[in-house]
């Protein structure tokens, strides 16, 4: 066992045996065994014990561990918390609360002692119990991996790894080791309490299954090991594709390339959605299958409109080839997923356009007007219509002053090229694929309450240049410089 | 349900609804439901029933299905086999034998009827049972995927896919569907027999687990779905790397690039070993974790010598940067993993070399001898020693005739450059890294029982050219042309 242990420390836990390690010691067989094995290898240690105060006599355990540390000449630190009360206050299960308080203490101490790692004494049996628990509670593939020999970053620290050097050693082997080395340990009486879920697995379910499947434990352990290593490979694939698929990101939102995303294998799509949700909601522990699936269904439903609500205050929507994942509280930028900044008018503002003159709109866009008398020239330009952000209008047809405003309910529009017939402006905007988010603040040019130009898209029929036009009004909507406010990839 | 069913047929099963499908119908609720759903969509069908003869009245089921097919105007075919006897003869479990006989019949019929697919009626509940069974029996990740909506190639056919359109539909939904459509089905009484493993899961274990975990079934189903899609991604990674790592292959053996292999992620290494074992032993259903792990341990143990026995008559060994996976019955080629064909002497043969003259060895190698009197020239050549397959010997030091033979126990050798001291030929061969497999038949050139040259490696000290050499014997070992007997990649 000593040899296996050392190999595990070096290969799996990646430990430098000359640096100090903090060991969490409950005083039970597993942690006493771990402490003894580490001591024998001469690893510098600190022993940390956390008193959950779940039993009246829990202080005895603390004393036992303190004495053990003293007798072996290892520094000792003690933490203590009323876990029962904490669990009630935060509506957590007792097990969950105990876990959180304990690890928080261990990593605080590890930081203070500046240790290389925090070592805990989970055994191969704990691994099997964890995997079964995850399977039954349904935490997906990520749960079936079980615990890792080494976790960094973990939920507790970005810098200090959490290591589990006994993960490949069975509880029976631990007991043999204690016997052979004449070591004493506490047997926590709460281990017998089957109201604790883990104890139910350990004392009831696993023995029952083992009566039919004698090799059950080994097999579940192997399964976890396989899935853990497979997952490393998958995560690499996810990361590679993530970098290809991500168009832009900002506070509370992510934009993916829809075309590319939907061409990927379903497994990759799911991995990317999990990754996205993780980035937007780092606190979320297990991302539900149905949440991930909701995004995929939304993406693959051909009649997609609007958005899809997801769990945890997130939603997704499609916009001209971009798949947005966002949180409801996020303020999305006025631009496309590929970073094209939209011309927009601020809320509650209208402008009169003087000729010649320029009006500054938001997002660094500006609308300018000038008169042109070079009939041959402007007529040819108006016919070619090459730049949708430039318009040539017949001055005679216009009434002073031109008004620049956002759209209003009931707005109608007579697009050039439809023989003068009119349609709802909102329908026109849908037809020309102006993204829904851009529509309400899109700048419109009006003459006497009639829409003369929808910049970027179309001139209105009544204001077009004709062979008899003598003077043209040239309008240009132009972005002056790029804004630096949005994170671009 | 009809809509879900159609979507599943098109998207997951990739079915062309205008082509004929063979449906396996036991007459139980699931298969009657499947048959009815397919009929409603107008898919052309054949109904196939297989009588396992496990109950005295099993013929009644066949009649029931035949009548059903007749009343719905669908062609019907019947297969029948004494599965009990078959199982005993082939030492298979009853369930396994029933499965094999049934599928063999279904695919034979599908071939005769030239159908697009074979459809079977596994439900979401069957999926959950399969996954749990695999977990408990320990068939690794591949087992946790459960069954697929569409399998091609399957164990039964390379051309005809096996489809499972009800895989996302629960048994309760099936029963509701039968009720609503006034359909009758047989309830197989053997479904209650808990001696059948699947029935134990269905009737005992799953209900017991569900009392603590009401969402158990859905969650296990989701887990299988996730793992199945993840596995598609993994298999793509495995295939990509397989093509990079494979150096050569032949009947019963595979050669991988050791350097590249051992640099890959553990998950990929395991995937490649599974792939290799699958190719060498296509019949092997579940490859044991420990078998895969044995290869990895062998590869990662720095003091590796010899070979490692694996399961199912396979073994692996390392040879000059190549990792070989082979079956014991395979005859390995006399060449390196990278396809360099070795000079070898057939068993039981010795040659006398006449000067000038040429001896033809096996593998298209030939050894030739000629006399040279151009002292200046050969002395310079001998000193430069640029080609290990050409040797210059002092004629005076040699005794006629030269003998060409394999090595013998006790052979010793005085390599040039060691001041005339001698060592065991076997040690010399190890030192110069002649692969173990090549050593016993490697050609040696001897003069009066003393080794004069080890072609490809070194001349013997006593026979070297000196400034006083008057006549040189020039020996050349050369491959005349490449043999076409080995599959090269």
Is there a contact between A138 and B229 if contact means CB atoms under 8 Å apart?
no
What pLDDT is recorded for position A303? 63
How confident is the model over B85-90, as a mean pLDDT?
Answer: 89
Cα–Cα distance between A49 and A3 in angstroms, integer? Answer: 27
C-alpha angle B29/B35/B40, rounded to 5°? 125
Read off φ and ψ for residue A266, nearest 5 degrees: -55, -40
Contacting residues of B for A266, CB less than 8 Å apart: 229, 232
Nearest CB among B140, B220, B234 relative to A233 is that of: B234
Contacts of A486 (CB under 8 A, 6+ apart): A248, A250, A333, A335, A339
Pick among A146, A212, A267, A273 to test the B interface (most B CBs inside 10 A): A267
* B83, B52 contact by CB (below 8 A): yes
* B337, B249 contact by CB (below 8 A): no
Is there a contact between B218 and A267 if contact means CB atoms under 8 Å apart?
no
**Token pair of A344 as six digits:** 């927009």
Nearest CB among A212, A229, A267 relative to B270 is that of: A229
pLDDT above 90 for A486: no
pLDDT above 90 for A199: no
Name the β-bridge partners of B257: B322
Is there a contact between A233 and B268 if contact means CB atoms under 8 Å apart?
yes
Helix (H) or strand (E) holding A358: strand A357-360
Measured in angstroms, the CA of B282 and the nearest CA of chain A are apart by: 21
Contacts of B63 (CB under 8 A, 6+ apart): none
**DSSP at A374:** -
Over residues B258-280, the pLDDT tens digits come to 999 999 999 999 999 999 998 99
Q: Strand A322-327 relative to strand A444-447: parallel, antiparallel, unpaired?
A: unpaired
Over residues B112-158, the pLDDT tens digits come to 999 999 999 999 999 999 999 888 877 666 778 899 999 988 888 98
Is there a contact between B136 and A213 if contact means CB atoms under 8 Å apart?
yes
Measured in angstroms, the CA of A464 and the nearest CA of chain B are apart by: 50
Cα–Cα distance between A90 and A93 in angstroms, integer? Answer: 9
3-state secondary structure chain B: CHHHHHHHHHHHCCCCCCCCEEEECCCCHHHHHHHHHHHHCCCCEEEEEEECCCCCCHHHHHHHHHHHHHHCCCCEEEEECCHHHHHHHCCCCHHHHHHHHHHHHHHHHHHHCCCCEEECCCCHHHHHHHHHHHHHHCCHHHHHCCCCCEECCCCCCCCCCEECCCCCCCHHHHHHHHHHCCCCCCCCHHHHCCCCHHHHHHHHHHHHHHHHCCCHHHHHHHHHHHHHHHHHHHHHHHHHHHHHHEEEEECCEEEEEHHHHHHCCHHHHHHHHHHHHHHHCCCCCCCCHHHHHHHHHHHHCCCCCCEEECCCCEEEEEECCEEEEEECCCCCCCECCCCCECCECCCCCCEEECCCEEEECECCEEEEEEEECCHHHHHHHHHHCCCCCEEEEEHHHCCCCEEEECCCCCCEECECCCCCCCEEHHHHHHHCCCCHHHHCCCCEEEECCEEEEECCCEEEHHHCCCCCCCCEEEEEEEECCCCCCCCEC
C-alpha angle B273/B277/B281, rounded to 5°? 175
Nearest alpha carbon to residue A48 among A105, A121, A5, A1: A105
What pLDDT is recorded for position A1? 84
What pLDDT is recorded for position B262? 95
What pLDDT is recorded for position A488? 37
Chains A and B form CB pairs within 8 A to the count of: 118
Measured in angstroms, the CA of A137 and the nearest CA of chain B are apart by: 7
**Residue A107, SS3?**
helix
Is there a contact between B271 and A220 if contact means CB atoms under 8 Å apart?
no
What pLDDT is recorded for position B451? 96
pLDDT above 50 for A484: no
**DSSP at A42:** T
Residue listed under structure tokens 């080994």: A218
Contacting residues of A for B218, CB less than 8 Å apart: 138
Nearest CB among B137, B200, B229 relative to A267 is that of: B229
Measured in angstroms, the CA of A237 and the nearest CA of chain B are apart by: 8
* B106, B22 contact by CB (below 8 A): yes
**Token pair of A80 as six digits:** 């203590």
Nearest alpha carbon to residue B110 among B160, B55, B173: B160
Nearest CB among A215, A227, A290 relative to B138 is that of: A215
* A238, A245 contact by CB (below 8 A): no
Nearest alpha carbon to residue A368 among A484, A481, A480, A466: A480
Contacts of A55 (CB under 8 A, 6+ apart): A189, A190
Over residues A288-325, the pLDDT tens digits come to 888 899 999 999 886 666 889 998 899 999 998 899 99
Helix (H) or strand (E) holding A125: helix A124-137
Exposed (0-12), middle (13-18) or buried (19+): which is B158, by Cβ within 10 Å?
A: exposed
Over residues A398-411, the pLDDT tens digits come to 998 899 999 999 99
Q: In what order do the strands lie in the sheet with A253-257?
A: A246-250, A253-257, A322-327, A314-319, A307-309
**DSSP at A360:** E
Cα–Cα distance between B135 and A221 in angstroms, integer? Answer: 10
What pLDDT is recorded for position A302? 63
What pLDDT is recorded for position B415? 93
* A198, A129 contact by CB (below 8 A): yes
Q: Is the dihedral of CA A157, A158, A163, A168 positive or negative?
A: positive
Measured in angstroms, the CA of B121 and the nearest CA of chain A are apart by: 24
Contacts of A423 (CB under 8 A, 6+ apart): A412, A413, A415
Q: In what order do the strands lie in the sheet with B322-327?
A: B246-250, B253-257, B322-327, B314-319, B307-309
Contacting residues of B for A290, CB less than 8 Å apart: 222
Is there a contact between A223 and B141 if contact means CB atoms under 8 Å apart?
yes
Contacting residues of B for A209, CB less than 8 Å apart: 136, 205
Over residues B354-368, the pLDDT tens digits come to 888 999 998 889 999
Is there a contact between B135 and A233 if contact means CB atoms under 8 Å apart?
no
* B79, B109 contact by CB (below 8 A): yes
What pLDDT is recorded for position B488? 37
Q: Is the dihedral of CA A239, A244, A250, A252 positive or negative?
A: negative
Residue A429 CA to chain centroid, in angstroms? 33
Using CA coordinates, name the residue in chain B closest to A136. B216
Is there a contact between B226 and A136 if contact means CB atoms under 8 Å apart?
no
* B150, B163 contact by CB (below 8 A): yes
Measured in angstroms, the CA of A288 and the nearest CA of chain B are apart by: 10
Exposed (0-12), middle (13-18) or buried (19+): which is A335, by Cβ within 10 Å?
A: buried
Cα–Cα distance between B321 and B334 in angstroms, integer? Answer: 16
**Token pair of A165 as six digits:** 């050097």
pLDDT-derived band at A489, boundaries 50, 70, 90: very low
pLDDT-derived band at B481, boundaries 50, 70, 90: low
**Token pair of A466 as six digits:** 């004709």
Read off φ and ψ for residue A46, nearest 5 degrees: -130, 135
Is there a contact between A220 and B266 if contact means CB atoms under 8 Å apart?
no
What is the ipTM metric for this complex? 0.80
pLDDT above 80 for B305: no
* B267, B301 contact by CB (below 8 A): no
Measured in angstroms, the CA of A248 and the nearest CA of chain B are apart by: 25
pTM, to two decimals: 0.82
Contacting residues of B for A213, CB less than 8 Å apart: 136-138
pLDDT-derived band at B483, boundaries 50, 70, 90: very low
Over residues A49-100, the pLDDT tens digits come to 999 998 888 889 999 999 999 999 999 999 999 999 988 998 888 888 899 9
Cα–Cα distance between B111 and B117 in angstroms, integer? Answer: 9
pLDDT-derived band at A380, boundaries 50, 70, 90: confident
Is there a contact between A212 and B267 if contact means CB atoms under 8 Å apart?
no
How confident is the model over B76-103, as a mean pLDDT?
Answer: 90
* A116, B193 contact by CB (below 8 A): no
pLDDT above 50 for A483: no
Q: What is the dihedral of CA B440, B442, B445, B450, to 10 degrees?
A: -30
Nearest CB among A141, A212, A215 relative to B226 is that of: A141
What pLDDT is recorded for position B107? 97
């Amino acid at each position: 066992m000593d040899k296996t242990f050392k190999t595990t420390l070096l290969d799996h836990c990646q430990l430098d045996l000359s640096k100090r390690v903090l060991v969490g010691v409950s005083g039970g067989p597993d942690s006493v065994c771990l402490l003894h094995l580490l001591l024998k290898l001469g690893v510098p240690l600190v022993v940390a014990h956390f008193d959950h105060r779940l039993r009246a006599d829990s202080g005895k355990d603390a004393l036992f561990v303190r004495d053990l540390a003293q007798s072996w000449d290892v520094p000792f630190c003690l933490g203590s918390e009323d876990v029962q009360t904490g669990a009630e206050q935060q509506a957590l299960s007792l097990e969950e609360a105990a876990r959180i308080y304990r690890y928080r203490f261990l990593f605080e101490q590890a930081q203070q002692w500046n240790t290389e790692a925090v070592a805990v004494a989970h055994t191969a049996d704990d691994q099997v119990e964890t995997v079964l628990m995850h399977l039954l509670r349904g935490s997906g593939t990520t749960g079936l991996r079980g615990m890792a020999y080494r976790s960094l970053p973990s939920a507790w620290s970005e810098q200090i790894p959490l290591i589990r050097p006994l993960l490949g050693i069975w509880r029976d082997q631990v007991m043999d080791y204690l016997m052979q080395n004449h070591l004493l340990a506490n047997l926590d009486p709460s281990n017998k309490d089957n109201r604790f879920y883990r104890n139910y697995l350990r004392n009831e379910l696993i023995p029952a299954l083992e009566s039919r499947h004698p090799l059950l434990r080994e097999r579940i352990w192997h399964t976890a090991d396989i899935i853990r290593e497979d997952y490393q490979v998958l995560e690499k694939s996810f990361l590679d594709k993530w970098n290809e698929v991500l168009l832009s990101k900002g506070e509370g939102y992510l934009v993916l390339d829809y075309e590319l995303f939907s061409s990927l294998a379903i497994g990759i799509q799911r991995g990317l959605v999990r990754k996205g949700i993780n980035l937007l909601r780092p606190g979320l522990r297990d991302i539900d299958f149905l949440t991930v699936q909701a995004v995929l269904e939304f993406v693959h439903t051909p009649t997609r409109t609007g958005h899809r609500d997801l769990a945890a205050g997130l939603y997704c929507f499609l916009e001209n080839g971009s798949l947005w994942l966002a949180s409801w509280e996020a303020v999305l930028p006025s631009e496309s997923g590929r970073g094209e900044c939209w011309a927009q008018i601020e809320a509650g503002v209208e402008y009169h356009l003087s000729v010649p003159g320029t009006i500054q709109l938001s997002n660094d866009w500006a609308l300018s007007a000038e008169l042109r008398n070079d009939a041959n020239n402007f007529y040819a330009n108006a016919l070619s219509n090459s730049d949708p952000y430039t318009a040539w209008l017949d001055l005679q047809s216009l009434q002073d002053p031109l008004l620049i405003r956002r759209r209003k309910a009931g707005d109608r529009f007579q697009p050039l090229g439809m023989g003068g017939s009119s349609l709802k402006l909102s329908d026109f905007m849908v037809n020309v694929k102006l993204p829904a988010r851009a529509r309400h603040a899109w700048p419109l040019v009006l003459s006497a309450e009639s829409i003369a130009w929808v910049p970027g898209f179309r001139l209105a029929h009544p204001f077009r240049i004709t062979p008899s036009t003598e003077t043209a009004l040239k309008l240009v909507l132009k972005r002056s410089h790029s804004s630096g406010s949005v994170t671009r990839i």
